[in-house]
Structure 1
Amino acid sequence: MIIIKSDREIDYMKKAGKIVGETLALLQESIKPGITTDELDRIAEEYIKRNNSTPSFKGYYGFPASICTSINEEVVHGIPGKTVLKEGDIISIDCGTNYNGYHGDAARTFAVGQISKEAENLINITRESFFKGVEKAIVGNRLTDISSAIQEYAEARGYSVVRDYVGHGIGTKMHEDPEVPNYGRPGRGPKLMNGMVLAIEPMINIGGYQVETQSNDWTVVTKDGTLSAHYENTVAILSNGPEILTLI
């Protein structure tokens, strides 16, 4: 069931989203060769808690950390630990907060020092594919209008779109209906309505779209070992157009 949010609820989600956006901006300043993913997780958790919020991910289905840190060929759900970031890596950080019972959720892929042109292009195309999808997040459109726009933009530029993992509705629960695929034909799925809030999150690979889960039962990697990037925001669909709640 898709839950339509009131103006008051969206206001709470704006506050949650602002904290997410600020956390990711703080992490971007900290990302450099030599830092561990554990340190990034500590920075994020401390900032979230200082802002009267709690990390949405910690303990969620047993996830042990406050952020997901996915490096290079890791697509999503990387677990922070003793891994040291090195020059040329890319790292996708997914962050969620719970403010007054409402969630915000966003992800970014960051460069670690100087990265290859190939990696830089992947990050840029992934981000741009998100904004192509948001252009279709308009009252009266269908859900897969968003999906199709993301897929078309990425694939036209030679990239592949992960299919095993999708975006989602969000509100008092981190994952609500509907699922939001990043691929598919336009004109399908539920009609977009004022008050719907979606986490739209393209995951784009340089190689094939196939992925697999590592033995820790969390970290998802590209099957062919090629680089992957992730870009996500929480988006409210409003009568005057989409509003991105996790951009600062």
Structure 2
Amino acid sequence: MQRYGDEARRAREPVLGLYEEVFNHRAFTGRSGTMFGFEGLGSVYWHMVSKLLLAVQERFFAASKEGADEDIRGRLGRLYYRVRDGLGFNKTPGEFGAFPTDPYSNTPKHAGAQQPGMTGQVKEEILSRFGELGVIVDQGRVQLEVGLLRAREFVARPQPFRFLDVHQQWQELTVPASGLAFTWCQVPFVYRLDPSAEPELTVTLEDGSSQTLTGLMLTPELSAELFTRSGRIRQVELVVRRSQLFSD
């Protein structure tokens, strides 16, 4: 628009009019004229939104890896959470047309959510959620990169956390204040904010011994123990500073 100025502005409406005349896209109803409730323009496709979410996240981490400046990474992060805010579970039941936490294919403009079931969105959501938590696999190694994680995810007071371990036994640990916990490959990961500590990664093994890593990346051997759910790793703990998190 800056390059062509008024010419581009004058041409916009005629081009849009020609497009509508040729394609009549507003009348397009998807696979057939009887399926507009499930397919076609006018529907919000939750799977497509989740694909966009994952794509923006991938660009965020790529920008970080390439050494992009803080402004670019910040813009990508804000765009990521803007897309995240558009997904079903952030909607009211009235907007979504169903219980917002239930997976549906799409929501057409004239009706509630359609086609319930485990849609492809679930796959993208799993990948993007672990990305938010900073779990990245690179060249066969597990790396923890929390640049997209927000401080609001950390609990203010200690809380219990129950999980199913690799031996299919229920376990419980205490999440510390200014901490969060989740499992990955059925191994608990515990994050803790500490403004005075240097960032470090501690792996506690089944025999009670531990290994401290300053690179925030597991060795190939420890990564393999996680992937295979061998039971050798009991817990992974990460200490980070608030300044390492995403600031929105």
- TM-score interval, normalised by the smaller of the two chains: under 0.3
* Larger RCO (alpha carbons 8 Å, 6+ apart): 1
Higher-Rg structure is 2
- Using the size of structure 2 for normalisation, the TM-score is 0.27
